[in-house]
Amino acid sequence: MNDTIPHALCRKRTHAEDMAVYRAQQRRRPDNELHADMCHPDWEYATTEGQRKAWYHSDVPPDGGGWVRNIHAGRDGWERFDYTEESYWMRPRNWENERE
């Protein structure tokens, strides 16, 4: 009796299969939780930063189009720390550009 596993059963998953599984697992959580953790598979995230209580461009999104404030992260889209403030942004991910 041959104890080897057939090649078709032990092949590794492709990157596309791994991403499909990852997206399916992530979609089980509510969207607002995924946005709060900045890990929704269909969105990309960015953070801008400035000086604490003296940052006059906190409402300026990152370079590129389509950014909206991620109101699920921090305190309604921003957070204040000891020396800095951060604004949190999100936009829909463009999957066609990432495949290239």
pLDDT in tens, the chain (100 residues): 555 555 555 556 677 777 777 777 766 788 889 899 998 888 999 999 999 999 999 999 999 999 999 999 999 999 999 999 999 999 998 866 655 5
Dump the DSSP string for 75-98.
Answer: TTSEEE-SSEEEEEEEEE--HHHH
77/46 Cα distance (integer angstroms) = 11
Report the predicted TM-score, pTM, of the whole model to 2 decimal places.
Answer: 0.68
What does the block give as tokens for 29? 């959580």
Centre a 10 Å sphere on the Cβ of residue 41 and count the other Cβ atoms it contains: 16
